[in-house]
Structure 1
Amino acid sequence: MKTSVQFGIIANSKTRVRCIFCKVYIPKANKCIEQHINGSKHKENFELMTENGISFNTDILYCKPCKSYLPDNHSISEHIEGAAHANWVAAMDDLVDGEFIRLNAYLSSDTENVFCEVCKKNIHCTLQNIEEHVNSLNHRSHIVEKLKPINGIFRVNNEDEVWCKVCDEYIDSHVLNILEHIDEDDHHMEWFMEIEDLMEGQDMSIVNYLANEFEKFAYCNKCKVEIICNAQSIEQHVNSESHLNQFS
């Protein structure tokens, strides 16, 4: 009979066991226990625990983000939907969005750290620590280096500026100015929206165009051809008979 921490099943009486994850009692028979732990509800609760930093400690559930034990009469979903946990998730998601910070290990294991992929650094997981990290100039500099090759931004001989290939525009090379251009410049954002809209579902790529200063072409994986990387040429290609025939 499986009564390990992994499954959340603990002994309750001579005739039944209890699933701490699902807050239900199960007949003390291997077949019944197997059916329960393989059921959709149990698997869903286990997945919710893994994604939300909830662990099983002897006979009680503990939420790491909230630093609290779940009351015995509260289900996992009730706790997750509660104000304290939901507010933590919302605040954390807002902080790490687009920052290349991984929460998985913190939420699903015993570690108290999150990992910043661009800085190659562990950070003790508190909202304050992560906020300080993502706003640091060092982190923002690493973010810029990560974003340059996917935004068509290149160094030039003049160290005070960088060149945006998409906008054919020189930008002050300060980290915050580059980020402002990527995130807020109307022409830059509109170019990406238009091109990505045209290429959606067309099996085309502009990765090399953005990463290589001298590359002039987008590439169609369906047709195995290069296309001048501008909206007009891409639109003509995706609507061409030869391209459309690749999908028939």
Structure 2
Amino acid sequence: MKQWARRAVALVAASAFAALGAAPGAVNAQEAVTIQPGVSIESDGGYCTLNWIYDGEDALAGSVYGGTAAHCVTSVGERISLATGSLGDPIQEFGTVAYIDDNLDYAFIEIDAALHDAVDPAMKGHPAIPTGVSTTETANVGDTMQFSGNGVGFHLLSLTREERTGILHSNDGTQHYVIGAVSPGDSGGPVADVTDGNKAFGIVNTVGVGINGLPYAGEGGVSLEGMFADAAEAGFTVRLRTV
């Protein structure tokens, strides 16, 4: 979510706070000290969500990365912080943006070596995810998809942060669309395919309403299968860390 979007998000959040009777920053800071898929992050690009944990290969061996959307960051070298939640407070810096692909809208954040012990590959709220990578050969339209993120409004309660599900509507191996509830702040977050054995499937890039003129609400994003291939072509070779 870009800087210019913060004012609009703040208006949405104000309504959510009033409706739910909660205050900004309601997430306990202690819940954010683990670096894992589904935690809230803050950058010059705004508030977003961290997706999967990746281990570097070849020239990148020994490095550990967390992913997010490209539109959540501004430049390679930017420092990124964990946050208490969307529109909340930064907790501590944990990594540096190492790679950005604006075309498919994904980015990798290299996690500080001093914090490698704080890394947990499990999707927040779902210790059995991810077991592997879901692909076009194993995933099917209609599969149950799992979100864990910090969309504004949803970020106020652990139930709404971690227990939202959707239905896979389309996937070509590079881009997908899931019918389900997401909002600004979920950007960059993880999408898992529960039906396909609790596998990592993709990341959240867009919050959309309508598919081919039909009134669906959901998210669109890059699928890991295509992301890995795209990054490898550029010499940025990483693999998913599983549970």
> Structure 1-normalised TM-score?
0.23
More RCO (CA 8 Å, sep 6+): 2
Normalising to structure 2: TM-score of the pair? 0.23
Q: Which has the larger radius of gyration?
A: 1
Which structure has more helix as a fraction of its residues? 1
Flag the structure with higher strand content.
2
